[in-house]
Structure 1
């Protein structure tokens, strides 16, 4: 009796017989791996990139849509100062997220390089050692934060003037610590899928978290929840969804018994920690650039000024992640795979294409949004959240430069050359903070954006161009 064929095998035969033209067949083979046979490493790599980008862009569109819904709903319901507390708490969560010491980023590169070498045992050992290391770090983080929490005047830290907001601040801060500790562990879901070049599954779980978070916000507003309740829902619900995704990926047979603590080896832990040191500095400088601003504005100009800047920043950041950030992150494990195989020609082609597509798209959006952005924000979220033209224009230019930085960083991360990213970004971030405290009282938000722009270009963009040229990548 003839054995039954799988659905994917039958589909592959049908596609090969179908009178499709070559471009259509090539596109379908990239989206569905089983439609092509005997594919080269480059074809498999590019197929994974296409599938991941399609899924990532779908999720980013959902995220942007969610942000546009969340901003007017939350700002209108809470008011400017409570809304500012919410945004500042989110920034604090991003600061605490760097406390995994670069373990997650290192895992992505290690997995992709191990797959490029065909080292299946290396994949399993990297996941196991990283998982238990991150779990230990998360536990220590929450214990330490809980001890320090009682000695901090959180109302003063958030610069809260409303008595109700001041009372909520300590509880919000403790909640932030708990959510951040959980995020360290559940965030490995995206790192594992990315390193396996299956980022499309990470997008599925991320999209589910976005939808669940929006539903949680609507439920909180419907039941008249206070800032503490809303922050809890928006933080814990997506984390729970990511936790389910982590449980699913860890059930893969190739991981086997290596997930048991007894199966750990000291050499695996040592290798993970040594490879994560510079990745931790990369995380640190990334937080300086993307998450420090709300706290700086709250402490120098007041919580009521956070909303306008953060609204414009989140719009640019959402588009940046859609156009440049997602492209760079998707290429990251592919660069690591290509470096492991010695495919330098593909790396050069991919960097050139990513700069044209991602950088050009970001510049086009900035040119279109800056002239009308303030009016659009005032129309849909209220005049109190509209940013003046000058800081808006500087913010647009800042994100164009950031697109170049992002797209030039990931080839170096894939190759393991992260020192220039780590130390250049950290030096620029550290310099920007005292400059902001000195100049913002007179220059306002525009001074902050101008400082970020100058430090970013001088300490990140120029060194990255130099390093990539030296390696022959551009």
Structure 2
């Protein structure tokens, strides 16, 4: 495998060690992501075979609902990623370990409180009413929700290990974890179709437990081998490390909340304005066109921490060259999105047959959404890498405030149907097409002042 990587790198004329490392992990990520895509697409017909359309819609809503609570890490995951990379870049191992310990113990404390609060809420909540579904599912949801919240609380802590791996230039780790999770989930659902009766409760438990087990295993492996000297220890928890991570993390935290409101509330909005069944075509069309995002993110992900390192070392020419290449690649991705939209009727027929009907206009709207977001994505990753995200934060926060009322307005007053929900999101993120490239230009040419340099 190493010989193959070296031959490909030589053919592409890749010389710098940093770019060689990025290209290696891009290729690995492509393999993992390809496997994940295949597994996830095979999972859909199996899931529709095991669950009813209503149950599947409820699970999609529930997944989005729980994802809202990912902001409880208060941005510490991304803060750790940047600060750990900066400390390693200048050889400050003491600070690197301090950042790891501080992040782990902070998130553990937060997650413990989150789980206790979720138990209290679950006891009093009428989940069938919240998800706008039949009362028959209420008993299953009452048992399922505490399990989901418990697994999610643990997941918030154990997924910090991926921030460490990524900050340490091991960029393909997330792709590897995603692939193992997708493959395990596919196998589990296949077994459910053979051994069990349709049950949202059983399905939800399996899907919640699998990623937790995988990441717990990775933590045990990492901290007993490669990262043994960074094992979280309460004596390395220090206020200055928390302030350093949190100072950057709070901006990521606000961005996370905004992203969740804009991108994860759509399913909930649809189920309230229409029905849980209406969530299914929306989710499947999003999953289909998001293939383009998966492909692009494979290439983009390594650049976050690599840009952090390069910016810390003032290697600006490498950054400029990398950004030019990423911008060119984004144009190819746009062409790919157009291709996906054009062949979507045949793709849907091959994927799940006539089980779900997806209007062409919905797929087109999804295509426009991904064209917009992937066009500014390279600049987004650059800003995240250098930690200059104040403008980013304001832009997403304003978009989040406008997204829900705008969605309701477009659906109710323009009769746009489910398409109105994704159109509202497009309108909210469109300003970033202008703002992010301008800020990148100012920063890389050392002309950034005021909000552009924060």
TM-score norm. by structure 2 comes to 0.91
**What corresponds to 2:214 in structure 1?**
241
1:467 maps onto 2:412 in alignment: no
In structure 1, distance between residues paired with 2:158 and 2:232: 15
Contact 1:375-1:386 within 8 A present in 2 as well = no
How many pairs are equivalent? Answer: 442
**What corresponds to 2:352 in structure 1?**
381
Local SS of the residue matching 1:386: coil
Q: Does the C-alpha gap of structure 1 residues 240 and 338 become closer, same or farther in structure 2, counting only changes over 3 Å?
A: same
Counterpart selection for 2:18 from 37, 41, 45: 45
- Alpha-carbon displacement from aligned partner over 1:321-367 (angstroms, at most 9, x marks no partner): 2x22222222100000001000111111111111211x223212221
Contact 2:102-2:241 within 8 A present in 1 as well = yes
**What corresponds to 1:429 in structure 2?**
400
- Alpha-carbon displacement from aligned partner over 1:6-30 (angstroms, at most 9, x marks no partner): xxxxx9xxx9xxxx9x966746998
Counterpart selection for 1:203 from 171, 175, 193: 175
**What corresponds to 2:133 in structure 1?**
160
**What corresponds to 1:310 in structure 2?**
283
Q: Does the C-alpha gap of structure 1 residues 24 and 432 become closer, same or farther in structure 2, counting only changes over 3 Å?
A: closer
Q: Which moved more, 1:224-233 or 1:296-305?
A: 224-233
**What corresponds to 2:416 in structure 1?**
443
Gaps of 5+ in 1: 1-10, 31-41
**What corresponds to 1:5 in structure 2?**
none
**What corresponds to 1:223 in structure 2?**
195
Gaps of 5+ in 2: 447-454
Counterpart selection for 2:263 from 279, 290, 298: 290
* C-alpha RMSD of matched pairs (Å): 2.5
Contact 1:103-1:272 within 8 A present in 2 as well = yes
**What corresponds to 1:134 in structure 2?**
107
Counterpart selection for 1:413 from 371, 380, 384: 384
In structure 2, distance between residues paired with 1:258 and 1:70: 36
In structure 2, distance between residues paired with 1:144 and 1:52: 40
Local SS of the residue matching 2:388: coil
Contact 2:285-2:362 within 8 A present in 1 as well = no
Contact 1:100-1:134 within 8 A present in 2 as well = yes
Q: Does the C-alpha gap of structure 1 residues 27 and 336 become closer, same or farther in structure 2, counting only changes over 3 Å?
A: farther
Contact 1:309-1:385 within 8 A present in 2 as well = no
Local SS of the residue matching 1:259: coil
Contact 1:289-1:452 within 8 A present in 2 as well = yes
Counterpart selection for 1:114 from 61, 77, 87: 87
Q: Which moved more, 1:100-109 or 1:216-225?
A: 216-225
**What corresponds to 1:263 in structure 2?**
236
Q: Which moved more, 1:56-65 or 1:173-182?
A: 173-182
1:72 maps onto 2:69 in alignment: no
TM-score norm. by structure 1 comes to 0.87
